[in-house]
Amino acid sequence: MHMRTLFGKKLSQSQAFLEDGTRIPVTLVELKDNPIVQVKTQVTDRYEAVQLGYGTNTRAHKPVKGHAAKGAKLADAPSFLGEVRLLDGESAPEVGTLLKASDVFTVGDVVDVTGTSKGKGFAGVVKRHNFRGGPRTHGQSDRERAPGSLGQTTTPGRVYRGKRMAGRMGSERVTVQNLQIVSVEEGSVRIAGLVPGIRGAILSITKKGTAKKPMQLFVQPERAAAQQTEEAAA
């Protein structure tokens, strides 16, 4: 398989320790099976992409249920559908294939994580754009967090597009690049670093390469022995 991207759900942010004692922030991402719901080709859609599903929606409408059952033969419609463009030379798996985390990612992979950032509501320029604010002295008690002048006079006689002003902050599509996967487990992965979004947010994780020096998490001897026993039993 030549897939580079899977969809997951952000669960929690925590910390972990490397073998040399370094403490790092880690994000636990639920990464259950991603079914291939549809394959788009150059002939039928004029571009090549794969539509992946994530989660389960038991209250989906009939069109969504029919779309999921038509090709992928899914009993329950996914709660999220997302497309992944195919690069030149990449081949798409068959419709109905279930992609697991271990099929795409391994420990040491460098990934880009895309999600929707936390919404902060309506914010002023000091919080939103790190403005300095006005002076507190000379009777300007009401100008401490004011934006100041917005532009020029008669020329141009308007405010330029893109002017940094107060407004809604957050809830934007954000990509954090060059993070490293430090563990791949059954149905989840741990990523070194922090990723955008609230708990439960859907994330797009794209593999970009492999780290030259992969991070090695510290594993307690008791836990390592238990893992070896489980692997031997399996």
Q: Which pLDDT belongs to residue 219?
A: 80
pLDDT band per the 50, 70, 90 thresholds, residue 90: confident
Q: Which pLDDT belongs to residue 225?
A: 61
Q: Which pLDDT belongs to residue 226?
A: 64
Structure tokens at 185: 């487990």
pLDDT band per the 50, 70, 90 thresholds, residue 234: low
pLDDT band per the 50, 70, 90 thresholds, residue 31: very high
Query: What Cα–Cα distance (Å) separates residue 69 from each residue in 10, 48, 77, 118, 215?
Result: 27, 21, 8, 34, 41
Predicted TM-score of the model (pTM): 0.85
Write down the CATH number for the domain with range 5-114+175-233: 3.30.160.810
Structure tokens at 223: 């836990």
pLDDT band per the 50, 70, 90 thresholds, residue 136: confident
Decide if pLDDT at 174 tops 80. yes
Of the ranges 59-73, 114-128, 192-206, which one carries the lowest mean pLDDT score?
59-73
pLDDT band per the 50, 70, 90 thresholds, residue 87: confident
Decide if pLDDT at 15 tops 60. yes
